[in-house]
Amino acid sequence: MRAATRGTVYLVGAGPGDPDLLTRRAACLIEQASCILHDDLVSAEVLQLAGPSSSMLNVGKRCGHKAITQEQINQLMIGLAVQGESVVRLKSGDPLLYGRAGEEIDALRRVGIPFEIIPGITAAFAAAATAGLSLTDRRGASRLVFASGHHCREGRRQNFAQTGNATVALYMPGKDYSSIRSDLLRDGWPADTPCVLVSCASWKSQVTHATSIANLCSVSPLPAPSILLIGPFLSAPELSQVTEEMDEVAH
Ligand SMILES: C[S@@+](CC[C@H](N)C(=O)[O-])C[C@H]1O[C@@H](n2cnc3c(N)ncnc32)[C@H](O)[C@@H]1O
């Protein structure tokens, strides 16, 4: 296994939470790094792999009392690398999806700091795997679309018009499933299209709720982090069972 190099920044995918889902390279770098800058969603179990002498800082957007700007995170990473530290910039899931990696890579390139990107299992893949679902299906789901629900929360309409024949993985879906439902229906998605909400994929507290676009508005919000998968081939008999049990509890 290659050792962590001093003066290098590693953009590492921490996966969805279960440390067994880390890549070997990610686990090795987390153990070896002298500094770890991590996001909020990185699980405690993954952080526990850090070496006893490594310094660790939560630079997540919701980190306690003080919000750290992206520019400050960039400068912190660069400063530590210049001082000769081996820096792991640890992001949940895959570092290149909804993790502002582009801005960090630009900042590192500008000042010539060497970096390496270590992929991780993204939330959509973990959610589908734990729910026993395939994200593509040659019978009619030939594309996979990664989308962010941020648009919905900012009052902007989500454009699902170009997502026919696809499975959509909606990250950060928020709690207003009704507006997601309206956007999908307005863009021509059939109301009976299966939807699967997965909260805390791969955590002990994982909850999976199967429903349809039509019924999205009657689903109680699941705890964050959660992801919404939408697609014509996302149904499985055992998922319907889970939904019925949850509905029974609710009534
Ligand atoms: C800022 S994005 C980061 C995505 C991450 N880079 C990835 O590849 O999964 C955070 C969103 O990812 C999703 N997410 C991350 N971890 C999750 C998990 N364990 N279960 C369900 N959704 C998760 C949620 O939609 C959450 O709001």
86-116 residue pLDDT tens: 999 999 999 999 999 999 999 999 999 999 9
pTM value > 0.85: yes
Calculate how far, in angstroms, residue 225's C-alpha sits from the geometric centre of ligand 1: 6
Calculate how far, in angstroms, residue 92's C-alpha sits from the geometric centre of ligand 1: 7
Active site residue 94: no
pLDDT at 48 (0 to 100): 98
Active site residue 39: yes
Confidence of residue 63 (pLDDT cuts 50, 70, 90): very low
pLDDT at 162 (0 to 100): 80
In angstroms, the first-to-last Cα distance of the chain is 54
- The yes-or-no verdict on residue 65 having pLDDT over 50 is no
Mean pLDDT of 180-187: 94
| Sequence-separated (6 or more) residues with CB below 8 Å from residue 241 | none
pLDDT at 115 (0 to 100): 98
d(CA 53, CA 65): 25
Which ligand 1 atom sits closest to the C-alpha of 96?
Answer: 6
- Among 1, 61, 106, 192, the active-site one is 61
pLDDT at 45 (0 to 100): 97
pLDDT at 241 (0 to 100): 57
Q: Which of 190, 178, 188 is nearest to 215 (CA)?
A: 178
Q: Are 10 and 31 in contact (CB under 8 A)?
A: no
With the most atoms of ligand 1 within 8 angstroms of its CB, the residue from 22, 98, 175 to mutate is 98
123-164 residue pLDDT tens: 999 999 999 999 999 999 999 999 998 765 566 678 898 878
pLDDT at 10 (0 to 100): 98
| Sequence-separated (6 or more) residues with CB below 8 Å from residue 25 | 1, 2, 118
Up-side HSE of residue 193: CA atoms within 13 Å toward CB?
23
Whether the CB of 125 sits within 6 Å of ligand 1: no
